[in-house]
Structure formats: C-alpha cells, structure tokens
C-alpha cells in the first residue's frame, strides 16, 4: 500500500476522449486548490471550457470531497460550490460518519485522480501486493448540469453485477444494451425491463477470486443507469440522472458478505421483527364482508393448516376511504369480535392503509385539511393537489411537513387502531405509496376522471344472510334481514428548472415523470423540496412515519410494517412485499431473484412475494409449488386479487397437503430463521443468499438464480417449470445431506438431476458442518410453537466437525431485557453448548440427531436410536438452555 503522501497522486498517461454517446464536446472539469488533510481530501472543480448545456445549464464551480471513512469504505462526493443543488435529506437517509476504524494502518481502498480534465479511479489492494481498479472514470468527462448528471465508469468485460433495483430482471444483470431506470411507479404485474415500485441505486461487482466490491450512489432523482459496450468493445456502466449531486460510497469487500455488511453500515441495519411475523399469513382482495374473513380463518383451522395472521385488503373500508369501516359489511362491533377471536386463539390481524385520503367529508380529510398536511398545487398555493385513487378524488399527505403531518398521522392511528374502541391491529400494510394516482397527467379534472371510471368501485356483492360461520360464537353470526350496501433553504434544488418535462427523459414505463403519480412540480412544505427531486422517497417516508405511529400505539413492541415502495435504507424501518405479481410460472421463478436482491443486497430481509400470485387465476400445480417455495420467503403470505378464483391453501387437496407439510418444516426451522435474521439486524450479514455468497470462487454459481441458501446451512432447489417433477440442482464442491433421506452427497461442482419430486415437496440439502436448532414438533400457532422443546440436528463435515447458533428472546420486545445467544460446536463426538444464557424460555433440548452415521457402533446407551435407512443416530436428552453443557454422542 502506498504511503499517505501518495494517496492522491495524479494518474499517469491516461488518454482523454471528449466523445460521449449522445453528448458532444462537453468540456468536463479541472481540479484546482487541492487540499489533503490526513484521511480527507478536498478540491475545487471548475468547468474546463465552454459549456455544452446538453440537458440543462452546466454548473461552473463544483466541490470535491473524499473521505476515507474506515478501512473498507470510501466516500466520494461532487457537489455544487454554492450548495444550492438538491441533496437527499439526512432526515430520510442519515449519513454515516467517518468512524475512525483504521485498524489495518491504511485503508483498503485508494482514491486516485487526474486533474485536467478531472477524472478519478478507486483502487483496491490485492493479496499479491498489486492494485485492482474498481471504479474508473478516465477517458470520459463528468457532466454536472442543472437538470442532468452524467458519469461513466469502465468495467471488466462481461462483469458480474447485481443490484440496481427494484426490478424483475435477472439477478446477475445483463451487460449489453441494458438500462435500469429508477423512478417509483405503480407497476401492476411487475413486468420485466421496467422501473417498478422501489429504488436502490447500489450494485455489487463480483470478480470471483479477485474479490467483490460495492458502489452506492446516494441520489433520489430519476435516473437511467446504462450497462453496455462501446463500439470498440469496452464495457461500461453509466449514470444519467435528472438532478442532485454525485454522492458515492465505495465498499471494499472483499467477499460478497463483507460488501453486504459494509452497505448496512451506510444505509442502516435492518429492523428486527417479532417472532410471530415469521408465521404463515393469508389475505385476499375481495373478501365480501367480515363474515367472509371469519370463514377463511375457520377453514384454515378446519383444514389443520396453521394460520398465524389474517389480513384484510381495502375491502374493509367505507367506499375505500382510509381510516373508515364499511358500516354494513365490516361494522366495528363485528370487526372487534373478529380481532378478539383471533387474539384469543393466539393469531393476529393486519389491514391495509393507503397514503391517498379521500377528498370528501370524512374525519381524516377534515382534520388533515385543518392542520394543512396535504400537498398543494404549485400554481395555486391555497389549493390542495388532487388526484384519483380507489376512493375517488384524493389528496396526499406531505411527509416533508414532519411535525404537523406526523402528529396528524399519529392521531389518525390512535383514533382508528386503538385497543379500546377501534380496530386493534397487530401490524400494518402500506400500498400505493409510490405515490400512485390513477388520473393521467395533467389530471386537470380529477372529478371527471372519477366519474368516467366509476370510482370508488362497488364492493364485492354480499351473500344474503343468514349463513352460519363455523367456529365462531352465536353473537358473531350474521343477522337476518341484513341490507346490502350500495357503492358510493438550501440544498433543496436550483430554481428555473423544468420540473415537469426535463430536457433529458428517463425511460419511465409510465411515460412522463408526473403521469399516474403526484405532479413533480409540487413544492413540499418545510424546507421547500420539489417532488421532482424527492418522488422516489415518498414511499419510504410514509413507511417511517407509519412505524413511528405504530410505536406510539405500543412503544415496547416491535412493529411489523410491510410497504410496497422503498428507497435505500428502508429496511431499518419496514419490510417489503414484492408488489402485484401475477399467477404465472415466470413470476414464481423470478420471485427468487427478487427476494435475494432485497435480502442479500438492499438490506430489506423481511421480504416475500404474493404466494400463488396476485393477479389472474392460479392453478393447483402452481399454487402447490409456490406454497413450498414461499415457505422459504422470510415474509410468507398468500394473497390474490378481486375477480380471481380463491386460492387459500385449503381449496385444493394437493395444495393443502403441500401447505401442511411445508409449514411443518418452516415452523420447526423457525428458530433457525429467527437466529440468522437477528444476526443480520446486528451485523448486516445476509440471511438469504445466492450461491456465490458462499462459494465466491465458483463461476458456476454466479448466474444461478434458481437455487438459494436459507441461512448458511440449507440449500433450497425448487422445481421451476410447469409440469415438471424434476430439477437440475447445482451442488458446489462440498458435502451435503439430503433433508428427507439423510443421504450424504459429495458435491462435485456439477448439476445433478433430482427426480420424482411430488407437488408437496421441495428439495432441501443441509450443508455439511452445520448444527441446526429445530423445534421438536410443529404447532398451529407460533405461540404454541414456542412451548416446544428442541431437536439439534448435526451434519458433520469431512473432519467430523459442525457448528451452529441459537438466538432466544421473548419474541416481541423492542428492547428485550433477557436474551440468549448459544453457540453449538460438535467435535470428537461431543456437542458443546456455550455462549450467553440470559433468556429462560422454559424449554429444553430433547433430542440430538447425528447424520452421516453408517452404524450405531458402540453407542447403544438407553435412549439412543439408530435409523439405518436415514443413517442417523438420535439420542434422547434433557438439556436445559440455561447454561453451558457438553453432550457426548
């Protein structure tokens, strides 16, 4: 590593090419007034010639800031000298500070630059003492204009890039003629090759045995990120952004897991979830009334399929207005009976809340209007901006009016979701927060649009009572002669910009920036940010405000908030479901890549796709396969659309069998999931992982998105195709055990065909060297599950060694007072339990199971059984989880 004196030595011999695709003769900048201050570096950048004004006005004077924030993180920022250009507010994405952690003596990364014209490189030390170029803007000129930023970095040929989401493209990004557009939109069907609900401008560049690094571009403006080759074959990645500043964080790795952890230090660690949230959830859009919901609850119980949480879509609302109940179909007294019934049976209840508030005579609107919390039209500051969503003409909260809007939002939650005389929900579901607006731009007459499109839609037709709801008391049953309801300062952005139709047009699949959303020329209250700059933050800001409102309801309890639209750092507050997918095999398959991106790259591990698909009609085969795959989503919910056939798991015999079988496995593994999830909330180490995270030098894993690791110990290989009962499962060069048969398999870095896979099964393999903590048996609820003892399954490696962990707490406290983190180590036929034992759960280890045993040998003690077919030795024990222990096998 070079001495500090040379950290900023100019590049030598770099050619300068002013030609840029679609941009001619842009002059770039010259670095002057360079100032090195230890691990901080600053310079002024001045325009290096006549402005090109390609898509706006070139800014004459910029500033450069370089910070070595710790050994493995480098911060590079290029911003305007006057600091008038919009920057992502620290209140939305808090900035990490240099933490002074330079244990290696010198940073792993090095910033290098060329002064005239200015360009820069980021380099990393290699094990052999050389340097590797990770990011390289040489031969190109940076463009910094009032409404357009452009920066290009050169890449290795055919690179392995991951991230830049949210998208339903391949996990390993295409590298030719590929554009990733970041601009939140309501994206029904989650199509490929388009912008979707959320925005995470971070990518991981994996170079096999040469290591992995990450690049995070902290910019919330709309952008196109292009990956392609030049005419002479040079591979590049290019940012084309509608505004903001260049604000980069480079993460050194060198492993994929290292990069993930380093990224979590920038955007924040994920929020820990309550134990019950990992149970099975059910919802649909189209439940006719509260009795329909109750019937689904009963039917799951009757089918003996564990149901942890029942959800209700917008059906419960009065004319689709938030913070209301339909008095005929979902009357308050019956809703409270339903919730109380669920709570008595240790189950949970969640409803949806949208951001758009009906502009009609209702409490939430009236109170919000009086408090002035809604966005205003820019051409008429006294006039509230109106759009059209489910309830008809709607208005939108301004989350940048923090004190007033947050207080109003908290009050609405307190009024509607209270324990004493409201709907006592256990979690929250946020939809439409891109923010969605059905009315196309310019939406000059939302009332006419509502009238022409019959909004709000009529609720599902109600079956005429009486009908009996099995399992519920007499006073819950519908009454006769019921009536059917009829439908009814600074850094805030430059002035003089075109906030509706900027000169550079990103590839927004919805069309213009303001189409089907909030108008981008709206100026927010408070600091005066433009929606043009902050559009991509709207969903995350609503999510954060909602988490705060949920915490005010129950300050000591971890709140579950599931949102549709996200931005970088959202995982610190909420989880995410992957939007309005379709009941199609391609959506089933792509859900794996989506889940892996959010959990292992974007640091939003509480994630899942609508199981069996949301839109359209599923089939028994697809739903059965999806039920088994969905059991390995952290967030496991069946949800489908109004107008589609019902797809609750109990509706088909095969699906019901698949659900019972896989939920049994999921619940027995729930503490394994809980432990690994908790680790991610503490360290950023991902729980769900692509294969290359564990086998970074195996090139066969780089494009594999049909398999994944559930924690470090379980390889999941779902059947991917309709009509198939087999899958070609790739087994890296390692040892594995078949979950079902216990057979020991030596992976040879090749695919093997797994055949005769029933619709009720999903192939699972235990990675050798693992100790898995399993509950001894499953249960109908997670409350009951937590009373079960444990079975420890040992899968030894070639050295007859294995290890694992178990984290225990009370399952719900935001700051639990007693926790246990128990480490299991197996060697020389002894299992050691060590660690912290602060939580007393009144359960014990009941059984130890040792895989890979050809015979019982001399181990024929009382309580020891040998399963010859499974080649497993089991020993009955009674070990308290209250202190260290040694168990001999």
Active site residues: 431, 434, 580
What does the alpha-carbon distance between residue 270 and residue 283 come to, in Å, rounded to a whole number?
25
Which conformational region is residue 496 in: left (phi greater than 0), alpha (psi within -120 to 50 degrees), or beta? left
The DSSP-derived string for 290-338 is: HHHHHHHHHHHHHTT----EEEE-GGGSBTTBTT---TTTS-HHHHHHH
Q: Name the 3-class secondary structure at 784.
A: helix
- Other CB atoms within a 10 A radius of the CB of residue 398 amount to 26
Tokens coding 697? 């030098």
d(CA 107, CA 68): 7
CA distance 833 to 880: 10
Residues 767, 769, 775, 779: what is their CA dihedral angle, to the nearest 10 degrees? 0
Q: Running DSSP on this structure, what letter comes out for residue 558?
A: P
**Contact present, 879 and 844 (Cβ < 8 Å):** yes
Tokens for 700?
């066969």
Residue 146: Cβ within 10 Å count? 23
Kind and range of the H or E run holding 832? strand 830-837
Q: Look at residue 774 and give its three-state secondary structure.
A: strand
Q: State the residue for tokens 């030098």.
A: 697
Enumerate the β-bridge partners of residue 429: 352, 562
User: Would you call the peptide bond into 557 cis, given omega within 30 degrees of 0 as the criterion?
Assistant: no
Q: Which of 116, 133, 147, 143 is nearest to 31 (CA)?
A: 116
Q: Residue 582 in 3-state DSSP?
A: strand
Identify which of 538, 599, 542, 603 has the alpha carbon closest to the alpha carbon of residue 572: 603
Copy the structure tokens of residue 552: 């005010």
Give CA 314 to chain center in angstroms.
23
C-alpha–C-alpha distance, residues 395 and 322, integer Å: 12
Please provide the DSSP assignment of 475-515 as one string.
GGSPPTTPPPPPP---SS--SS--SSS-SS----TTSSTTT
Phi-psi map region of 204: left, alpha, beta (phi>0 left; psi -120 to 50 alpha): beta
| CA 10 to centroid of chain Cα atoms | 40
**Which two three-digit tokens encode residue 307?**
């149901």
Q: What is the C-alpha to C-alpha distance for residues 513 and 774, in angstroms, rounded to an integer? A: 50
Question: Which residues face 23 on adjacent strands?
Answer: 20
Cα torsion through 173, 179, 180, 182, rounded to 10: 170
3-state DSSP assignment of residue 279:
coil
Give 80-141 as a DSSP string.
ETT--S----TTTSPPPPP--B-TTSS-SEEEEEEETTEEEEEEEE-TTS-EEEEEE-TTS-
- From the centroid of its chain, how far is CA 92? 17
* C-alpha dihedral (378, 381, 384, 387), degrees to nearest 10: -10
What does the radius of gyration of the chain's CA atoms come to, in whole angstroms?
Answer: 28
Distance CA 82, CA 256 (A): 38
d(CA 222, CA 381): 25
Taking Cα atoms as reference points, which of 775, 645, 722, 627 lies closest to residue 303?
627
- Distance from C-alpha of 795 to C-alpha of 478, rounded to nearest angstrom: 54
Residue by residue, what is the 3-state secondary structure of 589-627? HHHHHHHHHHHHHCCCCCEECEECCCECCCCHHHHHHHH
């Amino acid at each position: 590593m070079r001495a500090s004196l040379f950290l900023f030595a100019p590049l030598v011999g770099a050619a300068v090419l002013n030609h840029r695709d679609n941009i001619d003769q842009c002059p770039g900048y010259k670095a002057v007034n360079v100032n090195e201050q230890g691990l901080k570096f600053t310079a002024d950048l001045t325009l290096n010639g006549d402005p090109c004004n390609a898509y706006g006005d070139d800014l004459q004077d910029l500033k450069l800031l370089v910070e070595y924030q710790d050994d493995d993180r480098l911060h590079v920022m290029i911003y305007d000298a006057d600091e008038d250009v919009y920057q992502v507010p620290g209140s939305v994405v808090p900035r990490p500070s240099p933490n002074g952690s330079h244990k290696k003596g010198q940073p792993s990364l090095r910033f290098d630059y060329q002064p005239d014209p200015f360009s820069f490189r980021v380099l990393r030390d290699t094990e052999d003492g050389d340097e590797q170029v990770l990011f390289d803007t040489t031969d190109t000129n940076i463009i910094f204009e009032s409404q357009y930023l452009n920066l290009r970095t050169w890449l290795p040929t055919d690179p392995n890039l991951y991230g830049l989401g949210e998208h339903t493209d391949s996990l390993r990004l295409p590298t030719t003629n590929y554009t990733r557009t970041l601009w939140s939109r309501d994206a029904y069907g989650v199509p490929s090759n388009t912008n979707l609900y959320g925005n995470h401008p971070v990518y991981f560049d994996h170079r096999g045995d040469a290591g992995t690094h990450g690049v995070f571009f902290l910019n919330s403006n709309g952008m196109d990120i292009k990956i392609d080759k030049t005419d002479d074959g040079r591979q590049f990645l290019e940012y084309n952004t509608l505004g903001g500043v260049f604000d980069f964080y480079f993460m050194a790795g060198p492993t994929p897991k290292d990069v993930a952890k380093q990224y979590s230090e920038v955007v924040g660690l994920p929020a820990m979830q309550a134990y019950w949230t990992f149970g099975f959830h059910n919802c649909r859009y189209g439940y006719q009334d509260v009795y329909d919901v109750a019937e689904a609850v009963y039917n799951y119980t009757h089918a003996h399929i564990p149901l942890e949480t029942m959800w209700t879509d917008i059906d419960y609302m009065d004319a689709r207005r938030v913070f209301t109940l339909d008095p005929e179909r979902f009357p308050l007294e019956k809703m409270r009976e339903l919730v109380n019934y669920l709570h008595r049976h240790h189950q949970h209840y969640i409803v949806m809340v949208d951001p758009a508030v009906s502009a009609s005579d209702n409490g939430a609107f009236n109170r919000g209007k009086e408090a002035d919390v809604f966005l205003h039209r820019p051409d008429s500051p006294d006039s509230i901006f109106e759009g059209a969503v489910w309830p008809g003409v709607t208005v939108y909260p301004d989350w940048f009016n923090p004190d007033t809007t947050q207080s109003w939002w908290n009050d609405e939650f307190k009024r509607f979701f209270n324990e004493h005389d409201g709907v006592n929900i256990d979690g929250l579901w946020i939809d439409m927060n891109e923010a969605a607006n059905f009315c196309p731009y310019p939406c000059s007459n939302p009332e006419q649009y509502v009238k022409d499109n019959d909004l709000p839609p009529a609720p599902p037709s109600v079956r005429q009572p009486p009908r009996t709801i099995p399992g519920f008391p007499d006073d819950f049953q519908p009454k006769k002669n019921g009536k059917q309801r009829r439908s009814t300062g600074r850094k805030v952005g430059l002035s003089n910009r075109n906030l509706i139709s900027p000169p550079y047009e990103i590839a927004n699949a919805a069309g213009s920036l303001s189409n089907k959303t909030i108008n981008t020329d709206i100026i927010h209250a408070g600091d005066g940010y433009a929606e043009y700059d902050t559009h991509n933050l709207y969903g995350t800001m609503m999510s954060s405000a909602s988490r705060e409102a949920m915490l005010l309801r129950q300050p000591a309890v971890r709140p579950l908030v599931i949102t549709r639209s996200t931005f970088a750092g959202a995982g610190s507050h909420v989880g995410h479901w992957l939007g309005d997918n379709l009941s199609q095999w391609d959506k089933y398959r792509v859900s794996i890549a989506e889940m892996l991106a959010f959990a292992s790259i974007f640091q939003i591990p509480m994630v899942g796709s609508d199981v069996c698909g949301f839109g359209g009609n599923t089939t028994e085969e697809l739903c059965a396969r999806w039920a088994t795959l969905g059991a390995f989503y952290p967030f496991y919910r069946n949800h489908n659309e109004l107008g589609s056939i019902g797809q609750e798991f109990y509706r088909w015999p095969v699906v019901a069998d698949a659900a019972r079988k896989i939920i049994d496995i999921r619940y027995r593994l729930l503490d394994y999931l809980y432990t690994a999830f908790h680790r991610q909330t503490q360290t950023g180490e991902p729980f769900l992982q692509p294969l290359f995270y564990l086998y970074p030098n195996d090139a066969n894993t780089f494009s594999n998105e049909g398999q994944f690791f559930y924690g470090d110990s379980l390889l999941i290989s779902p059947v991917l195709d309709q009509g198939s009962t087999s899958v070609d499962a790739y087994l890296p060069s390692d040892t594995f055990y078949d979950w079902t048969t216990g057979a020991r398999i030596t992976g040879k870095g090749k695919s093997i065909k797994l055949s005769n896979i029933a619709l009720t099964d999903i192939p699972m393999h235990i990675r050798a060297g693992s100790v898995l903590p399993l509950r001894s048996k499953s249960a109908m609820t997670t409350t009951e599950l937590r009373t079960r003892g444990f079975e420890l399954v040992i899968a030894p490696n070639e050295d007859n060694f294995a290890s694992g962990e178990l984290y225990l707490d009370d399952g719900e406290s935001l700051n639990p007072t007693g926790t246990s983190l128990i480490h299991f180590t197996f060697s020389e036929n002894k299992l050691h339990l060590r660690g912290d034992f602060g939580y007393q759960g009144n359960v014990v280890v009941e059984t130890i199971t040792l895989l890979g045993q050809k015979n019982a040998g001399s181990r024929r003690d009382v309580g020891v059984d040998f399963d010859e077919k499974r080649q497993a030795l089991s020993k009955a024990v009674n070990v308290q989880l209250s202190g260290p222990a040694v168990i001999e096998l």
